Amino acid sequence: MGAYAILEDRFRRAALIGSAAGILGWDRAVVMPEGSADARAEQMAALGLAAREILAADDMADLLDAAAEEPLDGWQAANLREMRREWVRSAAIPPRLVEARSRAHTGCEMAWRSARPASDYAAVLPLLEEVAALTVEAGQALAAALDVPLYDALLDGFEPGGRAADIDPVFDDLAAFLPGFTDAAIARQAARPPLQIEGPFPAGRQEALGRRFMDALGFDFDRGRLDVSHHPFTGGAPGDIRITTRYDEADFLTGLYAVLHETGHAQYAAGLPLRWRHQPVGRARGMTLHESQSLLIEMQVCRGAAFMAWAAPLMAEAFGGAGPAWSADNLLALVTRVERGFIRVDADEVTYPAHVILRYRLETAMLAGDLPLADLPGAWNDGMEALLGIRPPDDRRGCLQDIHWYSGAWGYFPTYTLGAMAAAQLYAAAKSADTGIEPALAEGDFAPLYGWLGPNVHEQGSLYGTGHLIERATGRPLDAAAFKAHLAARYL
């Protein structure tokens, strides 16, 4: 076997270990008994170490150099590039730290599940401090290996090549733009408030409706599942995609739109190039593109008039609704309602970036040592007041609402707003390329939309960097222009 073939075999084995960890992670969030947390931490740590042993083997540098001398096609060359990137990141973290982080993440996440509904930040604080300390230690090791600042090293794990220096001016611009825009949108909507729909909305009927929409989107229930968890997510493994939501029997729209969001993630994962399934080049390019696909479905498409023309009768049928409140126009007004709220996952697309900017600023301050974790609740509440003009009444609706920091995902949050920008730009390009997309959506037909997203986004895997892929698909680099234009067209 040549060096490249040896590398493909090793990365395939490491990917399969990662797939097993993905299923165990889903199980931990959905069905695992709380008392099994210690055992699951042992299992996850062992899998992490096993994958690292493969990817950081002593001969990897020589194999990567030798493979670079072999004749490779474009996909193989891109795969080798991604292999080297993954090797650098794996080799930078010592086994002791891999194991310690895995255990800390599991323990803190389990504690967060109890602390969040009880609004008891003090209960989880010691575990979060351990997670943060280990995150900084790992970030410093990665920063040295990549020759970048600590935050960029962590961001790179979610958005390859992402840099805070590129994010800061975009977020500063949005932070300046959004307050006035939000005021204008709220004022415009105040003149014609929508009719409210009243429950209860039984969880079983919500699930059935969600599954009906997932079918329309093309989700393959023979290779995936829909379940309930504390925090909606998409996980599992290639060929076995698991998504979750949570239901509120007083408001079916929150659970439904979480399902639509996660189905966007799932369809991106399912559409990645099958030939390269267990290779680095066959993976999602990063979380900016992943979030673009979930937000494109949830925000761009499913809060649009074409989708609602088809979906409204199904919603009414699911809950026995009738009358003007269940009309397509009124339901559309409900799902595009702009209001300042405490919960990120329930936020409208106008205020959503403010939630992300807050988290980005807080996590950069905590990682830099400028914000002690004990002071996070107060800093969070101050930031919400500054950016959105509201102050959370408790930590459940403040710094405990998201799972990310407690499960070790530091550096993830910026990709949500970058993804929203990419979603607007990609959807505009898709509609320009195929004028039949929106008429088809009005009939519940997503095939034309995925007919464009497939070859332009999903099937490209990690062949290109995020910026390159978006520019190829849309004809210009990623910026906030399409996002701002979309907001203006929909809300003003």
345 falls in which pLDDT band (50, 70, 90)?
A: confident
Mean pLDDT of 337-355: 95
pLDDT tens track for 127-176: 999 999 999 999 999 999 999 999 999 999 999 999 999 999 999 999 99
Kindly state the percentage of the chain with pLDDT values over 70: 100
- Whether 119 and 256 map to the same domain: the answer is no
- Exactly one of 109, 262, 349, 438 is catalytic; name it: 262
Tokens of 196: 């409210």
- Whether 352 and 436 map to the same domain: the answer is yes
231 falls in which pLDDT band (50, 70, 90)?
A: confident
Tell me how far CA of residue 445 lies from CA of 62, 116, 215, 246, in angstroms.
Answer: 50, 39, 11, 26
Mean pLDDT of 200-220: 98
| Domains of the chain: total | 2
Residue found under tokens 């989107």: 217
Domain assignment present for 147:
no
pLDDT reported for residue 488: 97
How many Cβ atoms are within 10 Å of 176's Cβ, its own excluded? 9
Domain assignment present for 135:
no
CATH number at residue 272: 1.10.1370.30
pLDDT tens track for 325-337: 999 999 999 999 9
Helix (H), strand (E) at residue 49: helix 37-55
74-92 and 60-67 helices cross at what angle (nearest 10)? 160
Tell me how far CA of residue 196 lies from CA of 288, 322, 422, 441, in angstroms.
Answer: 34, 12, 32, 25
Annotated active-site residue 262? The verdict is yes
| CA pair distance 223, 478, nearest whole angstrom | 33
pLDDT reported for residue 346: 87
Closest CA to 61 of 22, 92, 31, 88: 88
Q: Which of 124, 139, 174 is the last residue of a domain?
A: 124
Question: Left, alpha or beta for 428 (phi > 0: left; psi -120 to 50: alpha)?
Answer: alpha
Domain encompassing residue 264? 165-491
